Amino acid sequence: MKLTSANINVMVKACRKASKTIIRDFGEIENLQVSLKGPGDFVTNCDKKVEKILIEELLKARPTYSILSEEVGKISNDESFKWIIDPIDGTANFFHGIPHFAISIGLEHNKEIICGIIYDPIKDEMFSAEKGNGAYVNNQRMRVSSRSKLEDCIIFTGGPKHELKNKELALKEYNNFSLKVLVPIRKLGSAALDMAYVAAGRCDGFWQRNLNYWDIAAGIIIVKEAGGFVTDFMGENSYIENKTILVTNSKINKEMIEVLK
């Protein structure tokens, strides 16, 4: 079975169209790395171009839905349905010519994410999920891993950013996890793909502070439909409000919470 609902089809079409711009512009990054000006402005413009395509496609198909997006902010229509968009999650990777970033789109209905897509245009991997219908990568069913001992797991994180107020706390958490696992912690630079990889069973857990809603919206439903857990650091559902997110398979959630405490 693959996901074929109308909303999923709208999201797939928007991602496919926007990805053409990303792939073309990513091909220019290597040339810009050696220029005096650098690729900063170029990447910002690409981000905005991709966002414009996504918004145009989504509004064309669903003109009454509201939108929350990283660059333009909020477009207010019917608040019961809202697209949550991150045009390029992993812009620092994109900026440096590292092929690990994604388009992320979640659809919220009455404050709950009901479907989502995370699309890696370079690897051509489409992670998707819909409430009650499972999670898929390129139409193949996904499940979280079954590893039950934290020490055997691969764990992802991101940050902390240079200007972060609780930077020392984030570094302490990193050290605590490093003492618990045999394989070094991975920091790949895209929260959306980190969550998608937990859903696909490629890694077992992910934690991070200070993410925005658009970074995680699509990943929430993808992880849950793959059998994983999404909580805050205390195991509660306040991860959006307090900006601490913990994403795990179904086995190591409690053990990771203990480390974070």
Closest CA to 83 of 242, 218, 221: 218
pLDDT of residue 74: 92
Please say if the pLDDT value at position 109 is more than 80.
yes
User: Any idea where the domains of the chain sit in the sequence?
Assistant: 6-141, 150-260
Residue 4, helix vs strand vs coil: coil
At 115, phi and psi to the nearest 5?
Answer: -160, 160
Alpha-carbon span 26 to 31, nearest angstrom: 10
Predicted confidence (pLDDT) per residue in 13-35, tens digit: 999 999 999 999 998 876 766 55
Work out the pLDDT band at 71, boundaries 50, 70, 90: confident
Q: Is the pLDDT of residue 254 over 80?
A: yes
**Banded model confidence at residue 37, pLDDT cuts 50, 70, 90:** low
User: What is the arithmetic mean of pLDDT over 166-189?
Assistant: 92
- With contact defined as beta carbons under 8 Å apart, do 205 and 173 qualify? no
Domain covering 6-141 assigned CATH 3.40.50.620 in the classification: no
pLDDT of residue 40: 64
Dihedral angle at the C-alpha atoms of 146, 148, 152, 158, nearest 10 degrees? 80
- In the block, tokens 């995370």 appear at 118
- Asked whether the predicted pLDDT for residue 236 surpasses 60, the reply is yes
Q: Write out the H or E segment, with its range, that includes residue 66.
A: strand 65-69
- Mean pLDDT, the chain, rounded, equals 92
Residue 179: the pLDDT is: 94
Q: Is the predicted pLDDT of residue 69 greater than 90, yes or no? A: yes
In this prediction, residue 166 carries a pLDDT of: 77
6-141 and 150-260: same fold?
no
- The pair of structure tokens assigned to 163 is 């200007």
- Judged by DSSP in three states, 183 sits in coil
Tell me the mean pLDDT in the region 196-209: 97
Beta bridge partners of 82: 66, 108
Residue 6 pLDDT exceeds 60: yes
Q: Dihedral angle at the C-alpha atoms of 200, 244, 103, 143, nearest 10 degrees?
A: 10
pLDDT at 135: 98
CATH code: domain 150-260 is 3.40.190.80
Q: pLDDT at residue 114 above 80?
A: yes
142 close to 135: Cβ distance less than 8 angstroms: yes
Q: What is the pLDDT of residue 138?
A: 95
C-beta separation of 104 from 199 below 8 A: no
pLDDT of residue 256: 97
Residue 167: band (very low, low, confident or very high) from pLDDT cuts 50, 70, 90: confident
Q: Where are the beta strands (DSSP E) in the chain?
A: 65-69, 73-75, 78-89, 102-109, 112-120, 125-130, 134-137, 140-141, 155-157, 205-209, 229-231, 244-248
- Average pLDDT of the segment spanning 109-133: 97
Partners of 208 in the beta sheet? 245
